[in-house]
Amino acid sequence: MAIISLLTNIPATPYLLIIVFSAVVASIAVKLFKPNGINKPPEDPLKELDAPVSVNYFPSRKCNYACGFCFHTDTSSYVLPIDEAKRGLRLLKEAGMRKLNIAGGEPFLYPHLLSELLRYCKEELRVESTSIVSNGSKIRRKWLRENFQWLDILAVSCDSFNPETNKKIGRGDDGGNVVRLFRIAGWCREYGIKFKLNTVVNIYNWDEDMVVNIKNLAPFRWKVFQCLIVAGENDDETGKRDARTFLVTDEQWRTFCDRHKHIPCYVPEDNKSMASSYLLLDEHMCFLDKGEGMMTKSESILKVGIKEAMKQVVWDKQSFVERGGIYHWDRSDMPQQSVCSGGSSSKELEW
């Protein structure tokens, strides 16, 4: 009662100041001493990488293009039964997979398989991010309209904005790659899918200036790869491809990089960055090691499990992180203007 009486005799303004000061002190104390609060040190990004955090899955090697530098050629026509593919994806998710990228071959040669795999990953496995890498020739608006809710990222490979250059590389013979590319980018914006671009720097495009087209295309991420030789795949005339004539010198690679490095979405990967930094899974669900020397592969994860299969290949986790393998790969920041947009209008996408 004495305290209450004392407080009632204190003028209002000093009393309010005491309350505010006490609240500030309490707030600071909570921030400084609260367990697991904002001052908790960030987790080491390498800590979780004993798990298959990001997996590149090739459900088929079949492709309708014949790119001269391809390092995953159509030497097999095998496609895993859907139930077995789902079983493998579940094993990967249980082992810690957060992102699944489906590549090939050309994935859109099997649109129904794609739909089923994506739906299973997002609705049943709750995979954090799903993506596809395609040459763009078989992507249809109807498919995107029916499946966009299960796809976070769509990447299209384009090595040149010159139709004749694309023909020389082997990306089809109709010269329509660029028209389709801009059309697909527009569809991705319409359906809230993150649009990504992949480019391989080779002897036919290293001196091309792509700045204006990249800004107009506005991908959220532009992966630029140095043409790569993989032993047993594209290293000589005995294989399906011989990429030796497509190689660029280090100086030519740097010239291309210097010309485009100011573009915010530009992400370069030279041969050293790529070697063993990708966790690759083939059509039999065997991990592939495409690092130095002959390509090797693990036993199937369906047979020996994830941990044992990962022990049988080299995956350079440090290189995976350093090349930007972990990034904002879900759609929680959609819709947003792309960092590469440069103020592009929708008319630039009306092809």
The conformation of residue 188, written as its DSSP 8-state character, comes to: H
Catalytic residue numbers read 63, 67, 70
Closest alpha carbon to 151 in 197, 188, 104, 108: 188
Collapsed DSSP state (helix, strand, coil) of residue 51: coil
In angstroms, the CA 256 to CA 262 distance is 12
The three-state secondary structure class of 99 is strand
Find out whether 309 and 55 touch, Cβ atoms under 8 Å.
no
Q: Which amino acid appears at position 251 of this protein?
A: E
DSSP 10: S
Which residues does residue 222 pair with via DSSP β-bridges, in sequence order? 197, 266
Token code pair at residue 44: 């080491």
Scan for tokens 């011989």, then name that residue. 242
Sheet holding 99-102, edge to edge: 266-269, 221-226, 194-201, 153-157, 129-134, 99-102, 54-57, 280-281, 286-289, 296-300
Residue 205: count of CB within 10 angstroms of its CB: 23
Can you list the pairs that 117-125 forms with residues at least 24 positions away whose Cβ atoms lie under 8 Å? 117/59, 117/82, 117/85, 117/86, 117/89, 118/147, 118/150, 118/151, 119/147, 119/150, 120/86, 120/89, 121/89, 121/93, 121/150, 122/149, 122/150, 123/150, 125/89, 125/90, 125/93
State both tokens at 310. 């990962």
How many CB atoms within 10 Å of residue 71? Answer: 21
